[in-house]
Amino acid sequence: MSTRQLNYIAGCVAALCVANAVADKPNILWIVTDDQRPDSLACFNEAVSGTKLSPLGYVMSPNVDQLAKQGTLFTQAYCNAPACAPSRASMHYGQYPFRSGVYGFEQTHQAAESCKQTVPQVMRSAGYKTAEFGKHGYYIFDWGPGLTWNTVDQYDHSVDAKNDLRKKGLTDYFPDSKKVNGKKIGKQEVFHYPDGTVKEFCIDAVKGQEIPPEDIALRKEVDAELDIIRAYTREQSTMIIGGQSPQPPEKTIDGQIASAMINYLEDEADADQPQFIHLGFHFPHSPVLAPKKYRDLFMAKEKEIPYTIPDFSPAEVEKMPPQLQLLYKKMNFSGLTKAEKLQAIRDYYAFCAHGDAQVGRAIGAFLNYCKKSSNDWIIVYVCGDHSWHLGEQGIEAKFAPWDHSTHNAMIAASSIKGLFPKGAHNDNLVEFVDCAPTFYEAAGIKTDAPDYAYLDGSSLRKSAKGQAKREYIVGEINHVVGPRAYMRSKDFAFSMKTREKNGKPGDKWGHLPGEGIKWALECPRAQAELCLYDLRSDPGEHWNVANDPKYAPLADWFRQKLGNIVLGDRRAEVNWRKENDYVVTDFALGADDKKLDIPASLIPEPTR
C-alpha cells in the first residue's frame, strides 16, 4: 500500500473520529428570561412551600413545570448582579462581576488582556454551531479601535429583539426616539395592533422641548384602551407596570422571539453540527403587557384567589443605609394606590404565564428537532436574569442586594440518563456563574484544566449530585445608586458599599482602576454603609441590624469577609474607554473559599 493511500486512510479515520466526537455532543438550549421572580413558577412554589400559589397569589406555568419534571429544579439559585447587563455578562463569562470587570451597563469589549472568552466563543471552538434569539443585553462589543456598538463575534446566527424584530414592526410595543422635522424632541412609545394599525406618541421630552398636545391626547387614549398603569411614584415615572398588550400572544415580542428560534430549527439549523442556542426572552420586563387571553384568565382567578400586597413599613427605610434609602426613593412602589398595586401584581404574573406559553413553544420545537436528528439534548432554564420586587422593601424594581432582587431559580434537564435527576428539587446554593462550566462539561471540555481556572462556578451536574457545595453566594453591582456588594447564606444577608466614588473605573465620576482599592475595608464604619439581616428571625429582610450593638461585631466580620473577596481576591477593574487599561488586585488571594467560618461568639441569639 502506498504512502498516499495510507495518508488517505489515516485522514478518513481522523475525519470519522471528529464526526463521531461532534455527534456525541448534545444539542443545548439555554433559556434566560428577564426580571422573572421564581415565585411566578408553580413548580418552585410547590417545592419550597407545598402549594402552587405564590405568597402573593395565583400563578400559572404549565410548560416550565413540565420541564422541571424532566430534570432538576434548583430552588436556591442566585444572580451575581441584580441588573440585566452585569448579570448576563457574568453568565457569558462564567465570572463574578468583580472578576470580569463588568459592574453595570458599561460599553465593554474584549481587547483588555484581563478578558476571557465568552460561553458561545468557547462552545464554537468545541465544535458547536452557536445561535442567539431575542434579548442579548450582555453589553460586550468589538474594539474598533475605540469603542463601538458592534456586537462581539460570538454567535454564528443572531436575531436581535430590537434591531431584527421590534424595528421591523414584529412586536406589540417598541420604545423609540420621537423626531419632528428630523430633530429629536424626546422618547416615544409605539404600539402595534393586529390589523396593522400603529399608534405612537411622545412620552418624555428632552430639555427645551415640549410634548405635542396631540401626543398627550393619544397617550391618554391608549392608556385607557389598554388599561395601562404607570409607575408614577418611581424616578422613571412613565414606566408601564400593568396593562394589556394590543397583540395576540404569538404576535407579541416574546411570541416573535420564540417564532424566530422555531423558524431557525425548521429551516436553517444543520443537523450534522451540534447546536448551542441561547434564547433570551423579554418577559416579564417592563412594559408589563399581558395579552388579553392571559389577562382575562388572571382577572377571573383574582375573584377566586385575591392577590396580596407584600408587608412593608416606612420604618424599614429608616434602618437602611443611605445607598438603599436612595434606591427606595428612586424605585418607590409604596406610593401607588391599593388598586394600582394589586393590578401591578396580577398583571405581572399574567405576563409570566404568557411567557411560559412561549417557552413551551420553543422547548417543543427544540425537542422535535433533537428527535428528528437523533441527538441528545440539554436544556437549562434560568428564571430571570435577576429577580424583581413587587412591593417588598417598598419598591417595584431590581438593583438591590435583597432576596427579591437576587433570588431566582434554575432548571436543568437532559435526555442523557442520570445527568440531572428527573423531578428532583435541589436546595443547594447555586449561582449564575455555574452556567458556563455546565455547558463546557457537556461539550467535553475539562473545566479543571489550567485554561479554565478563571471560572468562578461549578457545573449544575455537580450540584445536582451534591459534589459542589458552597456556604454563601456573592455578587456586586454598580448602577443607579453606586457600587455595592452582597453576600447571602442560609442565616444571614449582608451588603456593603465597595468604592468611595459612584462612577465606573476610569470615568470622571469614578476611580482609576485599582485606585484606593482598600477604602471599604479601612474607611470609617459608617461610610461603608453596612446592612445585615438575620434571616433566622427576619426572612423578609425588614430590619437592618448592622448597627444594633448585639449584631455590630458580626456585621464587622462580614465586612472583612466580603470586602476581602470582592476587593482583594483577583478583582478586575477595567477602564473600558481604553484598549488595555486594567488592574487586578490580589492582596487577599483565597478569600473566596466558599466557607463561612463565623466565630460562634459573634453569632447572637436571633431576635424574635
**Average pLDDT, stretch 313-338?**
97
What pLDDT, on the 0 to 100 scale, is given for residue 607? Answer: 75
Residue 487 bridge partners (DSSP): 474, 494
Count of residues making up the chain:
608
- The DSSP result for 405-430, as a single string, is HHEEEEEEEESSTTSS-TTEEE-S-E
**Average pLDDT, stretch 256-275?**
96
Residue 23 pLDDT level (bands cut at 50, 70, 90): low
**Average pLDDT, stretch 550-570?**
98
pLDDT digits (tens, 9 = 90+) for 205-248: 998 888 999 999 999 999 999 999 999 999 999 999 999 999 99
Residues in contact with 457: Cβ distance below 8 Å, sequence separation at least 6, in sequence order: 94, 431, 432, 433, 434, 435, 436, 437
What pLDDT, on the 0 to 100 scale, is given for residue 510? Answer: 94
**Average pLDDT, stretch 355-361?**
98
pLDDT digits (tens, 9 = 90+) for 93-102: 999 999 999 9
In this model, does residue 13 exceed pLDDT 60?
A: no
Structural contact between residues 547 and 529, judged by C-beta atoms closer than 8 angstroms: no
Over pLDDT 90: what percentage of the chain? 92
Structural contact between residues 354 and 283, judged by C-beta atoms closer than 8 angstroms: yes
pLDDT digits (tens, 9 = 90+) for 460-488: 999 999 998 899 999 999 999 999 999 99
pLDDT digits (tens, 9 = 90+) for 163-210: 999 999 999 999 999 888 888 889 999 999 999 999 999 999 998 888
Residues in contact with 403: Cβ distance below 8 Å, sequence separation at least 6, in sequence order: 387, 392, 488, 493, 541
What pLDDT, on the 0 to 100 scale, is given for residue 339? Answer: 98
pLDDT digits (tens, 9 = 90+) for 152-167: 999 999 999 999 999 9
How high does pLDDT run on average in the chain?
94
pLDDT digits (tens, 9 = 90+) for 50-93: 999 999 999 999 999 999 999 999 999 999 999 999 999 999 99
In this model, does residue 258 exceed pLDDT 50?
A: yes
What pLDDT, on the 0 to 100 scale, is given for residue 608? Answer: 64
What pLDDT, on the 0 to 100 scale, is given for residue 550? Answer: 97
What pLDDT, on the 0 to 100 scale, is given for residue 178? Answer: 86
Strand stretches in 335-419, DSSP E: 377-383, 407-414
Domain with CATH 3.30.1120 in the chain: 473-602
What pLDDT, on the 0 to 100 scale, is given for residue 6? Answer: 39
Exposure string of 536-566, with b = 16+ CB inside 10 Å and e = fewer, is: eebebbebbbbebeebbebbbbbbebbbbbb
What pLDDT, on the 0 to 100 scale, is given for residue 179? Answer: 84
d(C-alpha 321, C-alpha 496), whole Å: 9
How far lies 417's CA from each of 37, 85, 117, 337, 599, in Å?
A: 30, 35, 30, 51, 43
Residues in contact with 136: Cβ distance below 8 Å, sequence separation at least 6, in sequence order: 88, 151, 158, 160, 161, 280
What pLDDT, on the 0 to 100 scale, is given for residue 337? Answer: 97
Amino acid at 284: P
In this model, does residue 544 exceed pLDDT 80?
A: yes
Amino acid at 239: M
In this model, does residue 573 exceed pLDDT 60?
A: yes
d(C-alpha 458, C-alpha 469), whole Å: 9
CATH code that applies to domain 473-602? 3.30.1120
What pLDDT, on the 0 to 100 scale, is given for residue 602? Answer: 98
| Cα dihedral: 210, 213, 217, 219 (round 10) | -20
pTM value?
0.95
Structural contact between residues 273 and 306, judged by C-beta atoms closer than 8 angstroms: no
What pLDDT, on the 0 to 100 scale, is given for residue 5? Answer: 43
In this model, does residue 14 exceed pLDDT 70?
A: no
Over pLDDT 70: what percentage of the chain? 96
**Phi, psi for 334 (deg, rounded to 5):** -70, -20
What pLDDT, on the 0 to 100 scale, is given for residue 281? Answer: 98
d(C-alpha 22, C-alpha 273), whole Å: 7
Fold of 27-169+246-408+417-464: Alkaline Phosphatase, subunit A (3.40.720)
Listing from the earlier edge strand, what are the strands of the sheet with 492-497?
473-478, 483-488, 492-497, 531-534
Domain with CATH 3.40.720.10 in the chain: 27-169+246-408+417-464
**Average pLDDT, stretch 113-134?**
98
Residues in contact with 138: Cβ distance below 8 Å, sequence separation at least 6, in sequence order: 85, 88, 89, 91, 92, 118
Q: What DSSP state is assigned to residue 164?
A: I
**Average pLDDT, stretch 288-294?**
98
**Average pLDDT, stretch 341-348?**
98
